[in-house]
Amino acid sequence: MQIDLDRRGNGSPPVYRQIADHIRGEIEAGRLDAGDRLPPIRALARDLRVNRDTVALAYDELVAEGRLEASVGRGTFVSAAPVAASAPHAAALATRVEALLEFERARPRYGAGAGSIPLHALVPDPALYPVAAFRRSVNRVLGRGGAQLLLYGDRQGHAGLRELLARRFRAHGIEVGPDEITLCHGASQGIALALRLFTEPGDAVAVEEPTYGNVLGALRALGLEAAPVAMTEAGPELGALERALGRPEVKLLYTIPTFHNPMGITTSLAHRRELLAAAARAGKPVIEDAYEMDLRFAGRELPPLAALDTNGLVVHLYSFSKSLFPGARVGAITARGRAVEGLQALRAASDLGGSPLVQAALADFVGSGAYDRHLGRLRRRLRSRAEALLDSLAREMPEGVRFTTPEGGYQVWVEFPGGIDTRDLFADALRAGVLVAPGYVFQHDGRASNGLRLAVAQTDEAAIRRGVALLAHVARERLATGRPVSASAGVQL
């Protein structure tokens, strides 16, 4: 089957829709008759040079319309009696699924071999996990709680852990009680719950550009649009933010004021106050993602947005995933007023609560002082690794490369001159054995970016220096020739 596809984007329909439209047109023109068999999905995908999921979506849409019939083991055939009434639902479903698949397919593929230097991920280094100390906490709470800790948990989460978190948050200036905290499966679930609370499909959310890539995936999954606000070295550009929040379809703001992902910057106290004032004028809530708030290793502590909020606008997200280990899957949502009830109702409708055993063990781990001792060790290690990264960038990178200087967290944002698209630089670095996070994954529309994120989460100081030297080598080659470094070039550093 010959189908001319427009793969350029620029407002053209998704590829699966072009395939479905072509087949629909062939049926309506009589060039495909009832009972005619269509090519198998695998064969048509190969001929058109597209993913099998794309062809499957096209076929599914036409099956839902009644134009095609699919039979396991026999194939897909033109139906004798099309039923067009179901087309709107099928089209909406197919559009949502295609958007999610497109987002997933656009993610970088880190297919590098053993020995590669991982400067791409924010997953904490397992070598730094306090396994023995946490095991002792698990054993203690099992000894006290027994089988009760193996039942379903409270929908708001373990009361003792919420009390401990409330004390810690109050130390940061967030005047909150345990009843205003809801535990969740990490900050990721907290983001999804807050988005669902304040939006309906078709609404828009103001997001910083660049921003955390998984938030962009959550927006697509919920049928929401991104309203990008350009980031500067000081934070989101306040004039652009005011304009975005003034749009009626924009229902809230998602922001990372402390150790921003991917840029690593921390906004000033003055900027935080102005941001909250803009949100208050627009009457729009704010999701503050404080996923790395426990990881400051330099600079002066600043109050979170939730500590400065006098209007009850801020929903504050916290997580143990980056400060302890991600497998615990425990985070916290802090809100005020009816938002607390709404978040708890959504949490109850989403699942049957988190693990009482893990939450109780975390309460013991935090309450015993083991968590703070672990944080002290982790911050010292992060400071050393960050210094190695920043020193290497200053020494190795070609002229014109700019990078941020974080005061905590794992990540540094690096921008290259000369029109470099870091999607290409990602591929060059991968061949050289260095893994980086290219900037396009942090853009709402996946467009080209001259920036990339480097992280020190999984790499020691010596490997960081080697990785930066290799990255600088391929960057210089790109800048000098516009061509990639050959995989056979045998870079030796």
pTM above 0.85, yes or no: no
Q: Tally helices (H) and strands (E) across the chain.
A: 16, 16
- DSSP characters for 105-170? HTS------TT-EE-S--SPPGGG--HHHHHHHHHHHHHHHGGGGGSPPPTT--HHHHHHHHHHHH
Give the pLDDT of residue 63: 86
Residue carrying the six token digits 């350009």: 230
CA distance to 403, 434, 463, 469, 477, per residue, from 473 (Å): 17, 11, 15, 6, 6
pLDDT in tens, 409-457: 999 999 999 788 999 999 999 999 999 999 999 999 999 999 999 999 9
- Chunked mean pLDDT (size 10), the chain, 493 residues: 76 81 90 91 89 84 87 85 54 66 75 81 94 97 91 90 98 96 93 95 96 94 94 96 97 98 98 98 97 96 97 96 94 93 87 89 97 98 98 97 97 93 93 95 93 96 97 93 52 34
How many Å apart are CA 12 and CA 1, to the nearest integer?
21
454 - beta bridge partners? 412
Q: Which domains, from first to last, does the chain contain? A: 15-105 (1.10.10.10), 117-122+373-481 (3.90.1150.10), 128-368 (3.40.640.10)
At residue 487, the pLDDT reads 40
Those residues whose C-beta lies under 8 Å from the C-beta of residue 22, and which sit 6 or more positions away, are 3
Give the contacts of 456 (CB within 8 A, at least 6 positions apart).
119, 382, 385, 386, 388, 389, 410, 411, 412, 464
118 φ/ψ angles, rounded to the nearest 5 degrees: -85, 95
pLDDT at 95: 65
So what's the pLDDT on residue 418? 79
- CB half-sphere exposure, 148, CA atoms < 13 A: 7
Tokens of 370: 């083991």
Collapse the DSSP code of 70 into the 3-class scheme (helix H, G, I; strand E, B; otherwise coil) and give the result.
Answer: strand
Q: What is the DSSP letter of 386?
A: H
Q: How far is CA 408 from the centre of its chain?
A: 19
